[in-house]
């Protein structure tokens, strides 16, 4: 699907513009150097209508990423949140993927440009499943990437556009070899994350996820940890090695786009029984119940569109 051909409206710098006319100049600074910040957010259909999941947390992270790279967003968090709701309702969407991004314009070129304006956009469209829909049950085949993830660097820990060059190269390497996703290690050999997902493993009924030294502070990761607490599932946050993944009983990735997806093998070696394990299934179904408004708990995570 060519995204530029969708019919609809996009929020851009406080205005609503026609989807197919939503262009920027070729000399847009962020297009050249990748210095911009963005989020990936989802809205779900709930019994009370379309609801954006953990919108405040996503917008907080957007502003935090911007602060990390000294970008001043010329809108308030409330205005950006309202823009999310606007694009959902204007485009008559129920379930949607939402992409806010703040970027530098074409007011200057070169790394020293000091007259750049910060522009913001929010677009929403239907993007039901990031991976093959069967992956939710069958799981995915993951390659241990030959690319390493940078450690303890505030910029690499933020959701900055340019960081994703690295993720895409790692993902493409995995896809070219017939895998579905890449798992990156950091330079010290600790498990970091997928190209766009955090990782969890299960060993002896304990859920384990790496600390945030070499991964994004994923909002789905936070959600899973909170749900584990509610479900009385024991969990640990600690550094793990690839051997721990190979020897795990279960493993899964989490992310707003990927949601909760089981990992059935790493480098063609089956993890556990090579299919979705019981704890993964429990957390996955609780996650979907939560985002679709089927749970009483955590009402604060839902932002109703109307
Ligand atoms: N790691 C990376 C590199 C990502 O791009 C994402 C997706 N934003 C995640 C982890 C998962 O984050 P979240 O659950 O907030 O979508």
Pocket test for ligand 1, best of 198, 253, 283 (most atoms within 8 A of CB): 198
- Report the length, in residues, of the chain: 306
Geometric angle at alpha carbon 96, from 163 and 105, rounded to 5°: 45
What separation in angstroms does the CA of 183 have from each of 25, 45, 61, 113, 150? Answer: 35, 31, 23, 36, 13
Largest CA distance in the chain: 57
pLDDT of residue 151: 86
Q: Does the reported pTM lie above 0.95? A: yes
d(CA 198, CA 37) in angstroms, rounded, equals: 19
Q: Of all atoms in ligand 1, which is nearest to the CA of residue 39?
A: 8
Encoded tokens for 244: 């721990």
229 is catalytic: no
| pLDDT, tens digit only, all 306 positions of the chain | 899 999 999 999 999 999 999 999 999 999 999 999 999 999 999 999 999 999 999 999 999 999 999 999 999 999 999 999 999 999 999 999 999 999 999 999 999 999 999 999 999 999 988 888 899 999 999 999 999 998 888 999 999 999 999 999 999 999 999 999 999 999 999 999 999 999 999 999 999 999 999 999 999 999 999 999 999 999 999 999 999 999 999 999 999 999 999 999 999 999 999 999 999 999 999 999 999 999 999 999 999 998
**Which residue's CA is minimally distant from atom 12 of ligand 1?**
218
Q: Output the pLDDT for position 62.
A: 98
Helix (H) or strand (E) holding 38: strand 36-38
pLDDT of residue 128: 82
- Encoded tokens for 61: 């992270």
Could you give the CA distance from residue 252 to residue 165 in angstroms, rounded to a whole number? Answer: 23
Please give the pLDDT value at position 150: 87
Q: What is the distance in A from the centroid of ligand 1 to the CA of 198?
A: 6
pLDDT of 238: 98
- Among candidates 9, 160, 3, 4, which has minimal Cα distance to 85? 9
Whether ligand 1 lies within 6 angstroms of the CB of 160 is answered as no
5's CB contacts (< 8 A; 6+ apart) are 20
- State how far the Cα of 129 lies from the Cα of 98, in Å rounded to an integer: 13
161 lines ligand 1 (CB under 6 A): no
């Amino acid at each position: 699907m060519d995204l530029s051909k969708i019919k609809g409206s996009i929020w851009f710098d406080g205005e609503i513009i026609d989807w197919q006319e939503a262009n920027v100049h070729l000399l847009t600074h962020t297009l050249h150097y990748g210095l911009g910040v963005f989020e990936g957010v989802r809205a779900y259909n709930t019994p009370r209508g379309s609801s954006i999941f953990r919108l405040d947390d996503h917008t907080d992270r957007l502003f935090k990423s911007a602060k990390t790279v000294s970008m001043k967003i010329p809108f308030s968090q409330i205005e950006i949140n309202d823009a999310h709701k606007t694009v959902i309702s204007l485009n008559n969407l129920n379930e949607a993927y939402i992409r806010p991004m703040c970027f530098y314009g074409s007011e200057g070129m070169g790394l020293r440009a000091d007259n750049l304006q910060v522009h913001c956009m929010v677009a929403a469209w239907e993007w039901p499943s990031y991976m093959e829909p069967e992956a939710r049950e069958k799981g995915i085949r993951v390659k241990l990437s030959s690319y390493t993830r940078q450690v303890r660097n505030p910029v690499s820990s933020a959701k900055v556009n340019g960081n994703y060059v690295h993720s895409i190269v790692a993902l493409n390497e995995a896809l070219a070899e017939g895998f579905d996703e890449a798992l990156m290690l950091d330079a010290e050999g600790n498990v970091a994350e997928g190209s766009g997902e955090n990782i969890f493993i299960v060993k002896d009924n304990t859920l384990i996820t790496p600390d945030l030294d070499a991964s994004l502070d994923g909002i789905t990761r936070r959600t899973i940890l909170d749900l584990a607490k509610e479900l009385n599932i024991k969990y640990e946050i600690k550094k793990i090695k690839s051997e721990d993944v190979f020897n795990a009983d279960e493993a899964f990735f989490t992310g707003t786009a990927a949601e909760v997806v089981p990992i059935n093998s790493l480098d063609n070696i089956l993890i556990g029984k090579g299919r979705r394990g019981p704890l993964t299934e429990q957390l996955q179904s609780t996650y979907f119940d939560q985002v679709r408004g089927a749970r009483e708990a955590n009402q604060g995570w839902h932002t109703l569109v109307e």
